[in-house]
Amino acid sequence: MGGWVEGDPVGNRLFLDLPAVVLERGGELSAVRVAYETWGTLAPDGGNAVLIEHALTGDSHVVGPAGPGHPTGGWWEGLVGPGRPLDTDRWFVVCANVLGGCQGTTGPGSLAPDGARWGSRFPEVTVADQVQVEVALADALGVGRWTCVVGGSMGGMRALEWAVALPERVGGLFFLASGAAATGDQIGTQTTQQAAVRTDPRWRGGDYDAAEPPVDGLGIARRIAHLTYRSALELDARFGTRVQEDGRYAVGSYLDHHADKLVGRFDAGSYVVLTEAMNSWDVGRGRGGVEAALSRVTARTVVAGIDTDRLYPPALQQRVADALGVPLRLIPSPYGHDGFLVEVEAVGALLGELLAG
């Protein structure tokens, strides 16, 4: 159970080994490995590259079937490929597993230089640190400037950080179902999820046995999170108060299913590290505030949200849109926050519009 580890099939992953990475909150990682996937061919001048940023429990496998090394199929199927909105006959598309993750990039479940798992020794990382690692990947790939950086939810944070920190390297920005800074509501739900993981007796301060991970705590965290990902409208329409033949509420069975799916492919330590990176997110930190930071953006931008999103409500995207002087594009969906993954046709239309410009 858990994330990808050395010795597992690599699937479609490629790897880049980096030297020491100095971190925003202090300290450093003496070595970092980045797992990534690519689709299409990079133009000789490097001018056709698009970066996709995954969300909390995503990874580099944007599209493609499940198989050895990939426990699930692509998480944004329909978006990338020949004739798709990100047409790989034209664009060179890249997605990397995030720093602190558990699908090939260095995280708490990875081996430290002493040969033991990082575990509780893994340092705090921020969105800025994660983008720093992606900059090194772009340099190694020969990408001096992204035609577009695309991200939703936690991925939207990294996309926005790219556009603010390195405006000269971002031609287009697609900012979707995210915010410019964490809210008290988001921090509250995410620290509750962390508490669920940490109270599992198998957590052991983060230094748990890889053969006996804290799956009960991680499963509870996923249930809490999933309720914020979907809308009350959808849950009432699909499940309401219905009780199954086994005596369980249907909605409870649904949440159990999603918890079981996650613990089979994700690492509890990464879950804590990444939700803490989300908690500390503030694009305006050290830049004079959010609006001052956003004034640095020079990319052609689409800002979009999901009309029923209760985790990243449209007001958060409206703030970004207003600061950048662009309209907020609302996607109607009954699916809440997860609409950014489900409504692929609407997302693809907006992305195509951005790329056509």
Contact 15, 104 (CB under 8 A): yes
Looking up tokens 């909105």 gives: 85
- Element housing 253 (H / E): helix 250-263
Burial class (CB in 10 A: 0-12, 13-18, 19+), 325: exposed
- Element housing 225 (H / E): helix 215-229
153 is known as an active-site residue = yes
Contact 297, 320 (CB under 8 A): no
What is the rounded distance in angstroms from the CA atom of residue 167 to the CA atom of residue 178? Answer: 19
Supply the angle between the helices 268-279 and 127-141 in degrees, to the nearest 10. 100
Phi/psi class of residue 350: alpha, beta or left (left: φ > 0; alpha: ψ in -120 to 50)? Answer: alpha
What is the rounded distance in angstroms from the CA atom of residue 35 to the CA atom of residue 106? Answer: 8
Catalytic hit among 153, 178, 270, 333: 153
Catalytic hit among 60, 70, 337, 338: 337
Catalytic hit among 59, 129, 309, 338: 309
Looking up tokens 């219905």 gives: 242
**DSSP letter (8 states) at residue 38:** E
Contact 302, 329 (CB under 8 A): yes
CA of 24: how far to CAs of 27, 123, 129, 183, in Å? 8, 10, 6, 21
337 is known as an active-site residue = yes
Catalytically annotated residues: 153, 309, 337
